[in-house]
Amino acid sequence: MGIINVKGTHDIIGGEAENYSYVENVMSQIASFFAFKQVRPPVLEHSELFVRGVGESSDVVRKEMYTFDDKGGRSLTLRPEFTAGIMRLIVQNKLLPISELPLKLYYCGPVFRYERPQLGRYRQFNQFGVESVGHASPYADVEVISLAYTILQSLGLQNVTIKINTLGDEASRDAYRAALKDFFKDKVENMCEDCKMRYQINPLRILDCKVPSDQEIVKDAPKMSAYISEASQKRFSQVLESLKAMDIPYEVDDTLVRGLDYYSETVFEFHYVSNKGNDYGAIGAGGHYDKLVHEIGGPDAPGVGFSFGVERLVSVLCDDGLLEQADLPLDAYVMPLGIESQKNALMVANELRVLGYRVDMCYDDVKLSNMFKRAEKKQAKLAIIIGEEEIKNEAVVLKNMETKEQITVSLEDLGNKVDEILMEKGE
């Protein structure tokens, strides 16, 4: 075989690409109903942004970044997530402070992580997400969760599980880290090399370890909930009460710590097992952060956001029959009789395309019966035949593929006639 795609990447073709556009359009439209504005940060950033923003104890930064030196000797990284880059964009473009907070932004595009590819896990994948920055209100968290929930509902996903937890404020996390250090002190020697390092940099990360023998040890570790300050408890209760009032179902999961270092207070994940029983992992996740903007050189501004994995979303929607996989049917298929008629056929096709119809034409010099077969295969509603005679008379033959009715129409009247036939069908 010749050159193939890079491991962990995937080609998105035809009907599947339409599915991605559809899902991304639904998400963008709903984000704009919630008064979020679109931003498009670059894919390449200075590596330091992610080390400072996402955190050096996270697996994403330690093991999964596509980092390289460019020809000018700069260490650059293909973004492994959006949030740090969005904060850089906000700080650098002085989008804060503004008269009314929060600043609400949404984004969509490819991200890169050097992970082991498996079901729902790629090395290049797409994220859609939002960040609401500059207001500490617990209702900003609720707004963001309800936006994500509205998107999932609008796409038709009914049985979404929202797992939610609080990591508390800085004081809560400091107290919890100290308790974890104490607990793991005489156990860490027997744990994996990663956990030994996590113990030094951020013992919270040990809770995420996937090594079975380490997970056994983790089971008996102190629980986060015992170390949450009163203020953080109150804030979390306000979030939960508000979700309840809005009929947004959730499950409090006090083992949920999230894998990125910037979170504090509310964290959450969206889970969904498709009707086929496929579990693609979390289809989206997010949370609140306090220090990220400051870390990147900006003012003290808290924020909250989430990102969906678009591949995972499209996969569950396909599994549950909520997306059409087929290519969209044609409005018209233009069939030139002989090579000499192709130029005129193309002009006719284009005229209908600019009127907003989906039109294709035949480039092969084949029999009319063959072209009709092709029109049927493409589910064309109309066939348009154009030959020497029609060119001379400045007309075409228009055949309604459903009723089989066939008429000759002048080029001048073609647009109106197509409108008439397709409108009648409710197109």
Q: Which of 83, 232, 315, 344 contacts ligand HAM by CB under 6 A?
A: 83
By C-beta, is 36 or 125 nearer to ligand HAM? Answer: 125
Helix (H), strand (E) at residue 276: none
Q: Could you tell me which stretch among 133-141, 237-245, 300-308, 417-425 binds ligand HAM (CB under 6 A)?
A: 300-308
- Name the phi and psi angles at 360, rounded to 5: -130, 165
Pinpoint the alpha helices (H) of 190-305: 193-201, 212-219, 230-245, 292-295
CB of 35 to ligand HAM, least distance (A): 17
CA distances from 163 to 220, 265, 269, 286, 387 (A): 21, 14, 5, 11, 64
Distance CA 313, CA 153 (A): 12
Pinpoint the alpha helices (H) of 202-257: 212-219, 230-245
By CB under 6 A, residue 115 contacts ligand HAM: yes
By CB under 6 A, residue 82 contacts ligand HAM: yes
CB of 61 to ligand HAM, least distance (A): 11
Q: Which of 168, 286, 298, 302 contacts ligand HAM by CB under 6 A?
A: 286
By C-beta, is 119 or 366 nearer to ligand HAM? Answer: 119
CB of 242 to ligand HAM, least distance (A): 19
Closest residue by Cα to residue 130 from 102, 163, 100: 102
Q: Could you tell me which stretch among 239-247, 283-291, 332-340, 381-389 binds ligand HAM (CB under 6 A)?
A: 283-291
By CB under 6 A, residue 121 contacts ligand HAM: yes
By CB under 6 A, residue 132 contacts ligand HAM: no
CB of 124 to ligand HAM, least distance (A): 9
CB of 77 to ligand HAM, least distance (A): 14
Q: Is the peptide bond before 222 cis (omega within 30 degrees of 0)?
A: no
Beta strands in 96-195, from DSSP E residues, in sequence order: 103-112, 124-133, 161-166
The residue count for binding ligand HAM (CB under 6 A) is: 25
By CB under 6 A, residue 284 contacts ligand HAM: yes
Closest residue by Cα to residue 107 from 9, 27, 17, 22: 27
By CB under 6 A, residue 312 contacts ligand HAM: yes
Distance from chain centroid for Cα 166: 24
CB of 7 to ligand HAM, least distance (A): 12
Closest residue by Cα to residue 124 from 68, 80, 60: 80
Name the site residues for ligand HAM (rule: CB under 6 A): 81-83, 113, 115, 120-122, 125, 127, 129, 131, 260, 282-287, 305-307, 309, 311-312
